[in-house]
Amino acid sequence: KQWYQRRVAITAGINIKMITGDSKNIAISIGQKLDIYRGSDTALSGDMIDGMSTEQLADAIKSVSIVYRSTPRHKMKVIKALQSNGLIVAMTGDGVNDAVALKCADIGMSCNLTYYSLACITTIRPH
């Protein structure tokens, strides 16, 4: 079912990325279970984001499926990088730490995930 949903999303021009404060191993494990991350995909850490210029992040984020060890500041930078690439960004968040990023996104959806502290970002390329 997840594979089908991913195919439908891709066909519709939707690209799903996961941003979490979790470690790389946990983030990738969850991403694989949700069919967001495949072995050839790229994962980016909050520390890596800190070392990038705005332009570098805007270029790098195109191939990233997971951002791990992120803070609210990293989430904002990722959203702005996606938007600078001409994408419409929708974000779901499960906690108070997501409030600013939810407001910054073109579409912000607040939810409460019981077991995982993560936020998924969905990008849509406008026609």
**pLDDT tens, residue by residue, 78-118:** 999 999 999 999 888 877 778 888 888 988 887 765 434 45
**Identity of residue 61:** I
**92: amino acid identity, one letter:** T
Can you give the pLDDT at residue 3? Answer: 61
Q: Sheet holding 88-93: strands in order across?
A: 42-45, 64-68, 14-20, 118-124, 88-93, 107-110
Selection from 104, 99, 38, 49 nearest residue 74 by Cα: 49
pLDDT value at position 117?
Answer: 46
Helix (H) or strand (E) holding 18: strand 14-20
Q: How far apart are CA 61 and CA 26, in angstroms?
A: 20
Residue-level pLDDT at 34? 84
pLDDT in tens, 2-44: 566 667 777 777 888 999 999 999 999 999 988 889 888 999 9
- pLDDT score, position 115: 38
Chain segment 63-83, per-residue pLDDT in tens? 999 999 999 999 999 999 999
- pLDDT of 62 > 90? The answer is yes
Map tokens 């690209």 to a residue: 15
